Structure 1
Amino acid sequence: MRVDKWLWAARFFKTRSIAKAAIEGGKVHHASERVKVSKEIRIGMELTIQQGKDKKTVVITGLSSTRGPASIAQQLYEETPTSISRRELLASQRKLDNLAKPEHKPSKKDRRQINKFKEHNTEQFEDWSYHTDSY
């Protein structure tokens, strides 16, 4: 069975043409090497598939030439435990990164308060200096 057809049947990609484009773009690897669209796959092969920011390493456990429901498609492969843990770690890091960013830019009122705060704090330290003139 061709790898593009299996990726489509296993529901990694919506259409075979999208699967083909991903393979040609270097998003699918076997044994750390790029796969060709016509590559014949077998049960037990390990594929690394990159979809967006996620990179999955799966072991093929079944072959199907037809696209069925998601519950059946999930039985065609098994994701490796290291792949699952790596994806979860990266997802949590992306989530924490999004929390560090403000949800919205400051409004006019917020900017005024920020400027007032900055001016107030700089006035306190205008006379202060590291150097002393008295020796």
Structure 2
Amino acid sequence: ILGTSVSYWLGNQYKGRIAVLEREQDVAMHTSRRNTGVVHRPFYLDPVKRRIFARCSQAAYGMWKSYAKERNLPWDPVTTLEVATRPEDLKRIEKYYHWGIENGMGEDELEVLSAEDVRKFEPHVRGYGA
């Protein structure tokens, strides 16, 4: 996935031809085979310690969304529910909210939920918040 993604991006940036060489006997012999197909958002990435990955993650989201739209492919964003299973986990939830904002996500893309809100959203999930 990484090689084809980089080659696609380079192909859109520069004139020329690009070839991707597979070092294995077949494609998808490593992580591609186990890929969940989720385009990750950077809310859980420390904007200082994981700055590069957070920026790349945020940029990639927009690229994948545009790619799907340009080619009339399905784009089905999913919701991530990071549940606080202990009271002290609520600090982590707040931290993730702020990290998401610092990493370029919009306030309309993030929400801190109370325990009651979690039950309304996912009736079978129990926690102190999310």
How does the TM-score come out when normalised to structure 1? Answer: 0.21
More strand, by proportion: 1
Higher relative contact order (CA 8 A, sep 6+): 2
How does the TM-score come out when normalised to structure 2? Answer: 0.22
| Pair member with larger Rg | 1
More helix, by proportion: 2
